[in-house]
Structure 1
Amino acid sequence: MSASRVQEGMKYLLNSGWMLAEKFLMLAIGLATTVVLARYLGPEDFGYLNYALALLGLLSIVVHLGLTGLVVKELRSNPDNEDQILSTVFVIKVACSVVAFAIMMGTYLIGNDQNFLVLLFTALALFFTPFEMLIDWFQARVQAKYAAVAGFVGQLGGNGLKMILAIAGAGLVYIALAHVVVVMVTSAILVCYAVMLKRDFRFDFSWPLGKTLLKKSVLIFLGSLSAVIYLKVDQIMLQYMLGEYAVGVYSAASRLSEAWYLIPTILMASVFPKMIDLHKSDTAGYNRFMQVALDVLFFMAFALAVVVFFLSDWIVHVLYGAQYVDAGPVLAIHIFAATFVFMRALFSKWIIIEEAFIFSLVTQGLGAVSNIVLNYFLIRSHGVVGSAWATLISYSIAGYVSLLLSRKTRPLFIMMTKSICLHVFISVPQLIREFRRR
């Protein structure tokens, strides 16, 4: 292998390393902040804050419009046209941020929320979302370290401020304002790095280019919107059906459960090049690799879920205190959704390799619809625990059951079924028998 190819490989490896390191650091900081805020605010205020953040997450997708991956591709394919690409995407995202802000503030009138300032300050973060296109620019230039540093400094500063405010006894409004500081600082650093690296930027908006990008992004946008709906809709529905306390209890449990979702993303990112190579040269090896990967992913998630299931009440008590006692049963159920999230990480890479993007939209759409319907009925009958069941069932539909519907995805459904049967019906009974012998 030539020295230039080795150098190029190291460049991409370091680029990925920066992104992964940033995600791990932000995860640790985010979890620590969650625990501090949950204990300080109590279930009601913590619940309303998470309701506002869930709305923000949902409407941020409206701002991005599925353009993120397309921007990277366009910048890599047309480096001489990057000023026009960046200008056009920025204008589109600014316009969408205004619409998203209006929608978010409109929920105040619909829901008769009492915490107007919390909603307002949280919604202000939408106006900084357009600057996140600079992250795509850095990725296209294989300079992800700049985006990683910006994200880390913003999270560290913003979450540090939240914890200081909590310890100092500040109100919920100030903590919501601190969230704006996170995105504001991150955006400012991104802009500073961009100016440092590109001093000759020329604004060049092109509506024809904008229309072309929007046409390409429709399926991606709908898929992303569906994914965020079935990730966030539970908290929004709990707010309107049961109130802040239920959202606080559910959020405390789901934050602990969802923290582990980063693991399969990192694992699949590391083996993705291997999958691509096998797909090109060795079909049988490609299928064997996917089966082994699914076995490993399911085993990790299932083992984690079983441990957390038995320790859920203790974990909640140690981290959050007695005021979150109702979060224990929620965590015990919600953690099993990880089994389907872990396996879907491989399915997501399969979609890219096979260029079968329609399956992302269909499966996530089914997950979103089923989550809304199940939440509506199960929250009414089982309260906040019902929402955890709705999440578990809808995740299984989106990441497993829906694969049975198409001939193209059915082999993956069979592979996943083998992984589930291997560990649930074979490995676990064997472990139980071995434990009894001892």
Structure 2
Amino acid sequence: MMTEQLLRLFSGVFVGIYVARYLGPDQFGALSYVLTISALLIGVSRMGMDSVLTRDLVQKPDRKKELMGTAFWIMTITAAICYALTATTIYNIQEDNETKLYALIVAGSTFFTSFLVIDFYFQSQIQAKYSSLCKSTSLIITSSVKVALIFYKSNLIWFVVITALEQAILATFLIIVFSRTNLLTFFFKFNTQDAKEMLTSCWPMVISSVAILIYMRIDQIMIRHMLGLREVGIYSAAAKLFDAWFLLPYTLTISLLPIISKLKQENSSFYKLRLTQFFSMIIWTCMLVAIITTFTSEYIIKLSFGDEYKEAALVLTIMMWTAVFSATGSVSARYFSAERMEKKIATRTIASAILNIILNFVLIPIYGIIGAAIATLTCTIFANYLIDWLDKDLKDLLKIKHNALLFRHQLKDSK
């Protein structure tokens, strides 16, 4: 998994920078804009199954096929609905025809997200190395194609097409690897009772995922319509570096979910202790990176993207401080899943998404892309820390976070 993340970091930083330099702020802004739309669709079509299905596979190991098949068809149906609604919306909005075409092409990748149930299966078995191998291979292929497109001076639409095919290529490799098991017939399984239970658990996760994407990505859509595609490109340059870095803490939280769920299920006295240690590792690692970025962001942007993107330096600094609280929220989501408190995620993220939209409306006209970054940071702090003080059910979680910040990892503090 670490190898995969290093490759993804390489792709996000070096290949992403290479593409941004080649396309320039305007075309890179157009590409980033349609990718934001795609990210919102994928967030919905995943249906929160990365947490719900992984948890259920750990707790009901004798019903793997039924659970995977049910999750697969839930995600497939959701993807079809999402694409139909998106196509209708894109057709009716005021946007140039090229951008509409790009959005429809990229949105097509949503249909392949249902094959991620194979990835979730490997995670539940603590065998994520297999899905990481598939992700790494598909990433190498798509990154190589992007470099080749630059070499042959290709048009923007080809970058859109290869981006849309990333999910399809990954799905192909996941099926190939998974075919070695005797579970591939899960495609033909569907259990109505499982579907009801999954939907009951996952709808808060879906809402929270969409809300997270809104308060992390809606800024790019609002920048597009309030400032222009060039500003989207500059803002996205900083976001590209942020995304590349944030993959590491996010992957760590996903990979440890089965362990956290198992400790909770066994009523282990080490449950809260391990959570505290994990929070501490995530918080302080992200803070160290944020501090370093604060003093080097201008140099990093100019070295990476060139003078055309120099306005992204301060945005990058703000985003890296946002990563501290985003990573904390990612660990909190695993806690909520283990505690079956998924509704808490939905409540906080909906409130934060609404707050972010309001702040963007206020701050973008005044401060431009800097205002958008400030709005995201403010909402992330609110969603992943301040709101804990307002909920009496989260006293334990708040204590765990404070212990993690102060390096209190003794077992007595976890009881």
Normalised-by-shorter TM-score class: 0.7 to 0.9
In structure 2, which of residues 122, 131, 151 is the aligned counterpart of residue 147 of structure 1? 131
Distance change in 2, residues 1:266/1:394 (3 Å): same
Distance change in 2, residues 1:301/1:281 (3 Å): same
Distance change in 2, residues 1:412/1:198 (3 Å): closer
1:383 aligns with 2:404: no
Deviation at 1:345, TM superposition (A): 4.3
**Match of residue 425 from structure 1:** none
Structure 2 CA distance, aligned partners of 1:355 and 1:387? 33
Structure 1 CA distance, aligned partners of 2:72 and 2:338? 29
In structure 2, which of residues 291, 297, 307 is the aligned counterpart of residue 322 of structure 1? 307
Structure 2 CA distance, aligned partners of 1:108 and 1:67? 30
Distance change in 2, residues 1:133/1:345 (3 Å): closer
**In 2, are the aligned partners of 1:401 and 1:413 still within 8 Å (CA)?**
no
User: Cα deviation per residue 1:213-268 (whole Å; 9 max; x = unaligned)?
Assistant: 22232222222222222222111221222221111111101221333323434665
In structure 2, which of residues 150, 161, 167 is the aligned counterpart of residue 183 of structure 1? 167
**In 1, are the aligned partners of 2:214 and 2:353 still within 8 Å (CA)?**
yes
Q: Which moved more, 1:401-410 or 1:150-159?
A: 401-410
- Aligned identity (percent) is 26
**Match of residue 411 from structure 2:** none
Deviation at 1:140, TM superposition (A): 4.0
1:395 aligns with 2:377: no
**In 2, are the aligned partners of 1:118 and 1:172 still within 8 Å (CA)?**
no
Structure 2 CA distance, aligned partners of 1:200 and 1:173? 35
Deviation at 1:386, TM superposition (A): 0.6
**In 1, are the aligned partners of 2:32 and 2:233 still within 8 Å (CA)?**
yes
1:174 aligns with 2:158: yes
**In 2, are the aligned partners of 1:275 and 1:286 still within 8 Å (CA)?**
no
Gaps of 5+ in 1: 1-18, 423-438
**Match of residue 112 from structure 1:** 95
Q: Which moved more, 1:25-34 or 1:169-178?
A: 25-34
Q: Determine which structure has greater relative contact order: mean sequence separation of CA pairs < 8 Å that are 6+ residues apart, divided by chain length.
A: 2
**In 2, are the aligned partners of 1:249 and 1:324 still within 8 Å (CA)?**
yes
**Match of residue 92 from structure 1:** 74
**Match of residue 12 from structure 1:** none
In structure 1, which of residues 158, 161, 184 is the aligned counterpart of residue 145 of structure 2? 161
**Match of residue 182 from structure 2:** 198
1:360 aligns with 2:345: yes
1:69 aligns with 2:51: yes
Distance change in 2, residues 1:286/1:130 (3 Å): closer
In structure 1, which of residues 27, 44, 49 is the aligned counterpart of residue 9 of structure 2? 27
Structure 2 CA distance, aligned partners of 1:352 and 1:408? 14
Distance change in 2, residues 1:377/1:205 (3 Å): same
Deviation at 1:317, TM superposition (A): 0.7
- Name the TM-score, length of structure 1 as normaliser: 0.81
Structure 2 CA distance, aligned partners of 1:212 and 1:275? 18
**In 2, are the aligned partners of 1:30 and 1:159 still within 8 Å (CA)?**
no
**Match of residue 288 from structure 2:** 303
In structure 1, which of residues 127, 149, 160 is the aligned counterpart of residue 111 of structure 2? 127
User: Cα deviation per residue 1:32-80 (whole Å; 9 max; x = unaligned)?
Assistant: 2211111011111111111111111111122122233333344455555
SS in structure 2 at match of 1:257:
helix
Q: Which amino acid aligns with 2:354?
A: V
**Match of residue 339 from structure 1:** 324
**In 1, are the aligned partners of 2:235 and 2:369 still within 8 Å (CA)?**
yes
Please list, as runs of the form range in 1=range in 2, the aligned pairs for 1:252-271 lying within 5 A after superposition: 252-265=237-250
Deviation at 1:414, TM superposition (A): 6.4
Structure 1 CA distance, aligned partners of 2:55 and 2:255? 20
In structure 1, which of residues 195, 214, 219 is the aligned counterpart of residue 204 of structure 2? 219
Structure 2 CA distance, aligned partners of 1:421 and 1:85? 41
Please list, as runs of the form range in 1=range in 2, the aligned pairs for 1:11-22 lying within 5 A after superposition: 19-22=1-4
**Match of residue 47 from structure 1:** 29
SS in structure 1 at match of 2:48:
coil
- Name the TM-score, length of structure 2 as normaliser: 0.85
Q: Which moved more, 1:271-280 or 1:85-94?
A: 271-280
Distance change in 2, residues 1:250/1:44 (3 Å): same
Gaps of 5+ in 2: 408-415
SS in structure 2 at match of 1:325:
helix
Structure 2 CA distance, aligned partners of 1:97 and 1:360? 22
Distance change in 2, residues 1:277/1:142 (3 Å): closer
Deviation at 1:208, TM superposition (A): 4.6
* Structure (1 or 2) with the larger CA radius of gyration: 1
Distance change in 2, residues 1:24/1:350 (3 Å): same
**In 1, are the aligned partners of 2:79 and 2:111 still within 8 Å (CA)?**
yes
**In 2, are the aligned partners of 1:135 and 1:190 still within 8 Å (CA)?**
yes
Q: Which moved more, 1:344-353 or 1:395-404?
A: 344-353
